[in-house]
Amino acid sequence: MKVSWFHEHGSPEVLVCEETTTPTPGPGEALVRVRATGVNHVDIDVRAGTSRVPIRFPHILGREFAGEIAALGPVSGDALDRQPVHSAGGLREGDRVWVSCRLPCGRCEFCISGRDNLCERGGYFGMDLPGGYAQYVTVPVSTLNPLATSVSFEQAAASQIAFGTAWHVLITRGGLRAGHTVLIQAAGSGIGSAAVQLARLAGAKVIATAGSVDKLERARELGAHHLINYRTDPQFSAQVMAITGGRGVDLVMEHVGGDLFTESLACLCIDGTMVTVGGHGGEVVPFDIIPFFRRQLKLVGSKNASIAELREVMSLIAQGRLAPVIDTVFPIEQAACAHQLVESRAFFGKVVLRC
Protein backbone atom coordinates (compact mmCIF):
# COMPACT_ATOMS: atom_id res chain seq x y z
CA MET A 1 0.00 0.00 0.00
CA LYS A 2 0.98 3.62 -0.41
CA VAL A 3 1.75 5.60 2.72
CA SER A 4 2.87 9.17 3.25
CA TRP A 5 5.04 9.14 6.36
CA PHE A 6 8.19 10.69 7.80
CA HIS A 7 11.36 9.13 9.17
CA GLU A 8 12.54 12.24 11.03
CA HIS A 9 11.10 15.53 12.25
CA GLY A 10 11.51 18.54 10.00
CA SER A 11 10.03 20.74 7.25
CA PRO A 12 7.19 19.49 4.96
CA GLU A 13 9.74 17.76 2.69
CA VAL A 14 10.36 15.04 5.30
CA LEU A 15 6.93 13.66 4.30
CA VAL A 16 7.65 10.98 1.70
CA CYS A 17 5.26 8.68 -0.16
CA GLU A 18 6.51 5.07 -0.07
CA GLU A 19 5.24 1.51 -0.43
CA THR A 20 4.83 -0.60 2.69
CA THR A 21 3.09 -3.79 3.77
CA THR A 22 -0.70 -3.57 4.15
CA PRO A 23 -1.55 -4.27 7.81
CA THR A 24 -3.69 -7.24 8.86
CA PRO A 25 -6.66 -6.69 11.19
CA GLY A 26 -6.37 -8.48 14.52
CA PRO A 27 -9.21 -9.67 16.76
CA GLY A 28 -11.88 -6.99 17.12
CA GLU A 29 -10.29 -4.87 14.37
CA ALA A 30 -11.20 -3.85 10.85
CA LEU A 31 -8.98 -3.02 7.89
CA VAL A 32 -10.19 0.25 6.40
CA ARG A 33 -9.42 1.24 2.80
CA VAL A 34 -8.87 4.94 3.44
CA ARG A 35 -10.31 7.18 0.70
CA ALA A 36 -9.79 10.62 2.27
CA THR A 37 -7.98 12.07 5.29
CA GLY A 38 -8.30 15.53 6.80
CA VAL A 39 -5.13 17.58 7.37
CA ASN A 40 -5.10 19.31 10.74
CA HIS A 41 -2.73 21.86 12.21
CA VAL A 42 -1.65 19.37 14.84
CA ASP A 43 -0.25 17.25 11.96
CA ILE A 44 2.18 20.09 11.28
CA ASP A 45 3.22 20.19 14.94
CA VAL A 46 3.74 16.42 15.15
CA ARG A 47 5.76 16.40 11.91
CA ALA A 48 7.89 19.37 12.99
CA GLY A 49 8.45 17.87 16.44
CA THR A 50 6.92 20.80 18.36
CA SER A 51 3.83 18.94 19.60
CA ARG A 52 5.43 17.26 22.64
CA VAL A 53 3.69 14.05 21.47
CA PRO A 54 6.03 11.02 21.67
CA ILE A 55 6.01 9.10 18.37
CA ARG A 56 7.97 6.28 16.73
CA PHE A 57 9.51 6.58 13.24
CA PRO A 58 8.37 6.17 10.56
CA HIS A 59 5.21 7.91 11.71
CA ILE A 60 1.85 7.93 9.90
CA LEU A 61 -0.19 11.10 10.50
CA GLY A 62 -3.92 11.52 9.90
CA ARG A 63 -6.39 12.11 12.74
CA GLU A 64 -9.68 11.95 10.80
CA PHE A 65 -10.40 9.74 7.82
CA ALA A 66 -13.13 7.94 5.94
CA GLY A 67 -13.24 5.00 3.55
CA GLU A 68 -14.58 1.49 3.17
CA ILE A 69 -14.27 -1.64 5.28
CA ALA A 70 -11.79 -3.81 3.36
CA ALA A 71 -11.79 -6.70 5.85
CA LEU A 72 -12.97 -7.56 9.35
CA GLY A 73 -10.60 -9.37 11.73
CA PRO A 74 -11.71 -12.30 13.87
CA VAL A 75 -14.26 -11.46 16.56
CA SER A 76 -12.45 -11.22 19.86
CA GLY A 77 -14.02 -13.21 22.68
CA ASP A 78 -13.69 -13.73 26.37
CA ALA A 79 -11.99 -17.05 27.12
CA LEU A 80 -14.61 -18.01 29.71
CA ASP A 81 -18.01 -17.22 28.26
CA ARG A 82 -17.07 -16.94 24.57
CA GLN A 83 -19.13 -13.76 24.31
CA PRO A 84 -17.83 -11.33 21.70
CA VAL A 85 -16.49 -8.14 23.29
CA HIS A 86 -16.72 -6.22 20.02
CA SER A 87 -19.01 -6.41 17.09
CA ALA A 88 -18.87 -4.26 13.98
CA GLY A 89 -22.32 -2.89 14.83
CA GLY A 90 -23.87 -4.59 11.83
CA LEU A 91 -21.29 -3.12 9.45
CA ARG A 92 -19.89 -5.41 6.77
CA GLU A 93 -17.01 -5.51 4.33
CA GLY A 94 -17.48 -2.92 1.60
CA ASP A 95 -19.54 -0.56 3.78
CA ARG A 96 -18.67 3.14 3.71
CA VAL A 97 -17.49 4.36 7.12
CA TRP A 98 -16.00 7.28 8.98
CA VAL A 99 -13.64 6.40 11.81
CA SER A 100 -13.93 8.16 15.18
CA CYS A 101 -10.74 10.19 15.58
CA ARG A 102 -10.17 8.91 19.11
CA LEU A 103 -10.26 5.59 20.89
CA PRO A 104 -11.59 6.15 24.44
CA CYS A 105 -10.68 3.52 27.06
CA GLY A 106 -14.36 3.05 28.00
CA ARG A 107 -13.52 2.45 31.66
CA CYS A 108 -12.26 5.67 33.27
CA GLU A 109 -14.47 8.16 35.15
CA PHE A 110 -14.66 10.39 32.07
CA CYS A 111 -15.68 7.64 29.66
CA ILE A 112 -18.31 6.33 32.09
CA SER A 113 -19.85 9.79 32.53
CA GLY A 114 -20.02 10.52 28.77
CA ARG A 115 -17.09 12.95 28.87
CA ASP A 116 -14.81 10.65 26.89
CA ASN A 117 -13.14 13.67 25.26
CA LEU A 118 -11.24 13.93 28.56
CA CYS A 119 -10.10 10.26 28.60
CA GLU A 120 -6.33 10.10 29.09
CA ARG A 121 -5.94 6.35 28.59
CA GLY A 122 -7.27 5.96 25.06
CA GLY A 123 -5.50 6.63 21.81
CA TYR A 124 -5.50 9.16 18.98
CA PHE A 125 -5.17 8.14 15.35
CA GLY A 126 -2.24 9.88 13.69
CA MET A 127 -0.56 10.47 17.04
CA ASP A 128 -0.05 7.43 19.26
CA LEU A 129 -1.90 5.19 16.73
CA PRO A 130 -1.13 5.01 12.96
CA GLY A 131 -3.35 7.47 11.10
CA GLY A 132 -4.99 7.98 7.74
CA TYR A 133 -2.09 9.23 5.58
CA ALA A 134 -2.15 5.71 4.11
CA GLN A 135 -4.29 3.62 1.79
CA TYR A 136 -5.06 1.12 4.55
CA VAL A 137 -5.21 1.31 8.34
CA THR A 138 -6.40 -1.16 10.97
CA VAL A 139 -8.81 0.22 13.57
CA PRO A 140 -10.86 -1.25 16.43
CA VAL A 141 -14.38 -1.92 15.13
CA SER A 142 -15.74 0.25 17.97
CA THR A 143 -14.38 3.30 16.07
CA LEU A 144 -16.38 2.54 12.89
CA ASN A 145 -19.45 4.60 12.04
CA PRO A 146 -21.66 4.21 8.96
CA LEU A 147 -21.15 7.00 6.41
CA ALA A 148 -24.32 8.28 4.74
CA THR A 149 -24.28 8.19 0.94
CA SER A 150 -25.13 11.91 0.97
CA VAL A 151 -21.65 12.65 2.39
CA SER A 152 -18.53 12.21 0.24
CA PHE A 153 -15.36 10.69 1.66
CA GLU A 154 -13.65 14.10 1.36
CA GLN A 155 -16.50 15.80 3.24
CA ALA A 156 -16.41 13.16 5.98
CA ALA A 157 -12.65 13.56 6.35
CA ALA A 158 -13.06 17.34 6.67
CA SER A 159 -15.89 17.33 9.21
CA GLN A 160 -15.19 15.45 12.39
CA ILE A 161 -12.61 17.58 14.15
CA ALA A 162 -13.78 20.97 12.87
CA PHE A 163 -17.48 20.52 13.64
CA GLY A 164 -16.96 18.30 16.69
CA THR A 165 -14.59 20.80 18.30
CA ALA A 166 -16.85 23.73 17.40
CA TRP A 167 -19.89 21.94 18.90
CA HIS A 168 -18.02 21.23 22.14
CA VAL A 169 -16.87 24.85 22.37
CA LEU A 170 -20.10 26.61 21.47
CA ILE A 171 -22.84 24.34 22.74
CA THR A 172 -21.35 22.19 25.51
CA ARG A 173 -18.76 24.51 27.07
CA GLY A 174 -20.12 27.89 25.94
CA GLY A 175 -23.85 27.24 26.49
CA LEU A 176 -24.73 29.05 23.25
CA ARG A 177 -28.45 29.62 22.81
CA ALA A 178 -30.76 31.29 20.31
CA GLY A 179 -30.59 35.06 20.69
CA HIS A 180 -27.02 35.11 22.00
CA THR A 181 -24.32 37.11 20.25
CA VAL A 182 -21.09 35.20 19.65
CA LEU A 183 -17.65 36.35 18.50
CA ILE A 184 -15.85 33.68 16.48
CA GLN A 185 -12.12 34.20 16.02
CA ALA A 186 -10.25 33.17 12.87
CA ALA A 187 -13.36 32.21 10.90
CA GLY A 188 -11.17 31.17 7.96
CA SER A 189 -9.85 28.10 9.76
CA GLY A 190 -11.51 24.69 9.69
CA ILE A 191 -12.90 25.07 13.21
CA GLY A 192 -13.81 28.74 12.62
CA SER A 193 -15.76 28.07 9.43
CA ALA A 194 -17.54 25.20 11.20
CA ALA A 195 -18.34 27.40 14.20
CA VAL A 196 -19.94 30.13 12.07
CA GLN A 197 -22.33 27.56 10.59
CA LEU A 198 -23.10 25.92 13.95
CA ALA A 199 -23.74 29.26 15.65
CA ARG A 200 -26.17 30.24 12.89
CA LEU A 201 -27.91 26.87 13.21
CA ALA A 202 -28.24 27.53 16.96
CA GLY A 203 -29.96 30.85 16.24
CA ALA A 204 -27.16 33.14 17.40
CA LYS A 205 -25.99 36.47 16.00
CA VAL A 206 -22.46 35.94 14.68
CA ILE A 207 -19.52 38.34 14.63
CA ALA A 208 -16.61 36.72 12.76
CA THR A 209 -12.99 37.80 12.57
CA ALA A 210 -10.34 36.88 10.00
CA GLY A 211 -7.03 38.25 8.78
CA SER A 212 -7.93 38.97 5.14
CA VAL A 213 -10.72 40.52 3.07
CA ASP A 214 -11.19 37.27 1.12
CA LYS A 215 -11.67 35.19 4.25
CA LEU A 216 -14.13 37.71 5.69
CA GLU A 217 -16.19 37.54 2.50
CA ARG A 218 -16.26 33.73 2.75
CA ALA A 219 -17.34 34.01 6.40
CA ARG A 220 -20.19 36.28 5.29
CA GLU A 221 -21.27 33.65 2.75
CA LEU A 222 -21.37 31.08 5.59
CA GLY A 223 -23.77 33.30 7.51
CA ALA A 224 -21.71 35.69 9.67
CA HIS A 225 -23.71 38.90 10.38
CA HIS A 226 -20.74 41.16 11.17
CA LEU A 227 -17.11 40.98 10.03
CA ILE A 228 -13.90 42.26 11.61
CA ASN A 229 -10.37 42.18 10.15
CA TYR A 230 -8.12 41.61 13.16
CA ARG A 231 -4.99 42.50 11.16
CA THR A 232 -6.13 45.98 10.12
CA ASP A 233 -8.00 46.50 13.43
CA PRO A 234 -6.02 44.79 16.22
CA GLN A 235 -8.00 46.75 18.87
CA PHE A 236 -11.23 45.23 17.61
CA SER A 237 -13.02 45.24 20.99
CA ALA A 238 -14.15 48.82 20.27
CA GLN A 239 -15.79 47.63 17.06
CA VAL A 240 -17.46 44.71 18.88
CA MET A 241 -18.82 47.12 21.50
CA ALA A 242 -20.14 49.41 18.74
CA ILE A 243 -21.85 46.48 16.97
CA THR A 244 -23.49 45.33 20.22
CA GLY A 245 -24.60 48.81 21.32
CA GLY A 246 -21.97 48.92 24.08
CA ARG A 247 -23.08 45.62 25.67
CA GLY A 248 -20.48 43.15 24.44
CA VAL A 249 -20.95 39.55 23.29
CA ASP A 250 -22.34 36.66 25.33
CA LEU A 251 -19.70 34.25 24.10
CA VAL A 252 -16.28 34.29 22.45
CA MET A 253 -14.76 31.28 20.74
CA GLU A 254 -11.02 31.91 21.00
CA HIS A 255 -8.54 29.50 19.44
CA VAL A 256 -5.66 31.74 18.37
CA GLY A 257 -4.02 32.95 21.59
CA GLY A 258 -1.54 35.83 21.90
CA ASP A 259 -2.93 39.35 21.42
CA LEU A 260 -6.28 37.99 20.18
CA PHE A 261 -6.84 36.27 23.53
CA THR A 262 -6.36 39.49 25.50
CA GLU A 263 -8.46 41.61 23.13
CA SER A 264 -11.19 38.97 23.06
CA LEU A 265 -11.73 39.20 26.83
CA ALA A 266 -12.51 42.89 26.38
CA CYS A 267 -15.33 41.98 23.96
CA LEU A 268 -17.42 40.11 26.55
CA CYS A 269 -20.63 41.39 28.08
CA ILE A 270 -21.04 41.38 31.86
CA ASP A 271 -21.25 37.72 32.95
CA GLY A 272 -20.06 36.66 29.47
CA THR A 273 -18.07 33.53 28.68
CA MET A 274 -14.89 33.01 26.68
CA VAL A 275 -14.03 29.47 25.64
CA THR A 276 -10.41 28.89 24.67
CA VAL A 277 -9.36 25.93 22.55
CA GLY A 278 -6.02 26.81 20.96
CA GLY A 279 -2.95 28.99 21.30
CA HIS A 280 -0.71 28.83 18.21
CA GLY A 281 -0.59 32.64 18.18
CA GLY A 282 0.98 32.81 21.65
CA GLU A 283 0.60 30.39 24.54
CA VAL A 284 1.48 32.74 27.44
CA VAL A 285 -0.61 35.92 27.65
CA PRO A 286 -1.01 38.87 30.05
CA PHE A 287 -4.19 38.74 32.13
CA ASP A 288 -5.84 41.68 33.92
CA ILE A 289 -7.61 40.22 36.97
CA ILE A 290 -9.58 43.33 38.01
CA PRO A 291 -12.02 43.66 35.07
CA PHE A 292 -12.27 39.89 35.01
CA PHE A 293 -13.94 39.58 38.41
CA ARG A 294 -15.66 42.96 38.42
CA ARG A 295 -17.48 42.06 35.20
CA GLN A 296 -17.98 38.48 36.48
CA LEU A 297 -16.47 36.96 33.36
CA LYS A 298 -15.99 33.26 32.78
CA LEU A 299 -12.95 31.72 31.08
CA VAL A 300 -13.51 28.10 30.07
CA GLY A 301 -11.16 25.56 28.53
CA SER A 302 -12.30 23.06 25.92
CA LYS A 303 -10.77 19.84 24.65
CA ASN A 304 -11.79 17.88 21.53
CA ALA A 305 -15.34 16.50 21.41
CA SER A 306 -17.00 13.43 22.85
CA ILE A 307 -17.84 10.52 20.57
CA ALA A 308 -21.54 11.37 21.05
CA GLU A 309 -20.86 14.93 19.87
CA LEU A 310 -18.93 13.66 16.84
CA ARG A 311 -21.90 11.47 15.88
CA GLU A 312 -24.29 14.40 16.38
CA VAL A 313 -22.40 16.70 14.00
CA MET A 314 -21.90 13.92 11.42
CA SER A 315 -25.66 13.32 11.53
CA LEU A 316 -26.33 17.04 10.89
CA ILE A 317 -23.89 16.93 7.95
CA ALA A 318 -25.63 13.85 6.53
CA GLN A 319 -28.93 15.81 6.77
CA GLY A 320 -27.36 18.71 4.86
CA ARG A 321 -27.83 21.14 7.77
CA LEU A 322 -24.05 21.70 8.07
CA ALA A 323 -21.54 21.57 5.24
CA PRO A 324 -17.77 21.25 5.57
CA VAL A 325 -15.79 23.83 3.64
CA ILE A 326 -13.00 22.16 1.65
CA ASP A 327 -10.30 24.42 0.23
CA THR A 328 -8.08 21.91 -1.61
CA VAL A 329 -7.84 18.14 -2.04
CA PHE A 330 -4.32 16.77 -2.63
CA PRO A 331 -3.40 13.21 -3.65
CA ILE A 332 -1.59 11.33 -0.89
CA GLU A 333 1.65 11.61 -2.88
CA GLN A 334 1.51 15.40 -2.34
CA ALA A 335 1.11 15.39 1.45
CA ALA A 336 4.12 17.73 1.69
CA CYS A 337 2.30 20.27 -0.54
CA ALA A 338 -0.78 19.96 1.68
CA HIS A 339 1.35 20.77 4.73
CA GLN A 340 2.93 23.77 2.95
CA LEU A 341 -0.54 25.13 2.23
CA VAL A 342 -1.71 24.66 5.83
CA GLU A 343 1.45 26.31 7.14
CA SER A 344 0.97 29.27 4.77
CA ARG A 345 -2.56 29.81 6.18
CA ALA A 346 -3.56 30.82 2.62
CA PHE A 347 -6.62 28.58 2.64
CA PHE A 348 -10.23 28.72 3.85
CA GLY A 349 -11.79 25.77 5.66
CA LYS A 350 -10.10 22.40 5.37
CA VAL A 351 -7.30 20.76 3.39
CA VAL A 352 -7.85 17.09 2.55
CA LEU A 353 -5.71 14.21 1.21
CA ARG A 354 -7.22 11.74 -1.25
CA CYS A 355 -5.78 8.30 -0.60
Q: Which residues bind Zn ion (CB under 5 A)?
A: 104-105, 108, 111, 119
Q: Which residues contact 144 (CB under 8 A, 6 or more apart)?
A: 30, 32, 69, 88, 89, 91, 97, 99, 100
Query: Of 104 and 126, which has the nearer Cβ to Zn ion?
Result: 104
Q: Measured at the alpha carbon of residue 238, what is the angle toward residues 234 and 240, in degrees to the nearest 5? A: 95
CB of 111 to Zn ion, least distance (A): 3
**What is the distance between the alpha carbons of residues 50 and 60, in angstroms, rounded to a whole number?**
16
Query: Of 105 and 337, which has the nearer Cβ to Zn ion?
Result: 105
Query: Of 111 and 199, which has the nearer Cβ to Zn ion?
Result: 111
The closest residue (CB) to Zn ion is 119
Query: Of 111 and 353, which has the nearer Cβ to Zn ion?
Result: 111
Q: Measured at the alpha carbon of residue 338, what is the angle toward residues 332 and 343, in degrees to the nearest 5? A: 155
153 within 8 A of 35, measured Cβ to Cβ: yes
Of residues 28, 160, 23, 149, the one with CA closest to residue 96: 149
Query: Of 115 and 345, which has the nearer Cβ to Zn ion?
Result: 115
CB of 109 to Zn ion, least distance (A): 8
Burial 172-202 (b: 16+ CB within 10 A, else e): bbbebeeebbbbbbbbbbbbbbbbbbbbbeb
CB of 125 to Zn ion, least distance (A): 16
Query: Helix 335-344 vs helix 41-48: angle between axes, to the nearest 10 degrees?
Result: 110
CB of 131 to Zn ion, least distance (A): 20
Query: Of 10 and 114, which has the nearer Cβ to Zn ion?
Result: 114
Q: Which residues contact 110 (CB under 8 A, 6 or more apart)?
A: 104, 116, 117, 118, 119, 120
* Cα Rg, the chain, nearest whole Å: 21
Taking the mean position of all CA atoms in its chain, how far away is CA 339? Answer: 16
User: Is 10 strand, coil or helix?
Assistant: coil
Query: Of 108 and 285, which has the nearer Cβ to Zn ion?
Result: 108
197 within 8 A of 336, measured Cβ to Cβ: no
Residue 59 phi, psi dihedral angles, 5° rounding: -105, 140
Query: Of 111 and 251, which has the nearer Cβ to Zn ion?
Result: 111
325 within 8 A of 350, measured Cβ to Cβ: yes
Query: Of 86 and 298, which has the nearer Cβ to Zn ion?
Result: 86
Q: What Å distances lie between residue 111 and 238, 258, 306, 315, CA to CA? A: 42, 32, 9, 21
Segment holding 156, helix H or strand E = helix 153-157
CB of 101 to Zn ion, least distance (A): 15
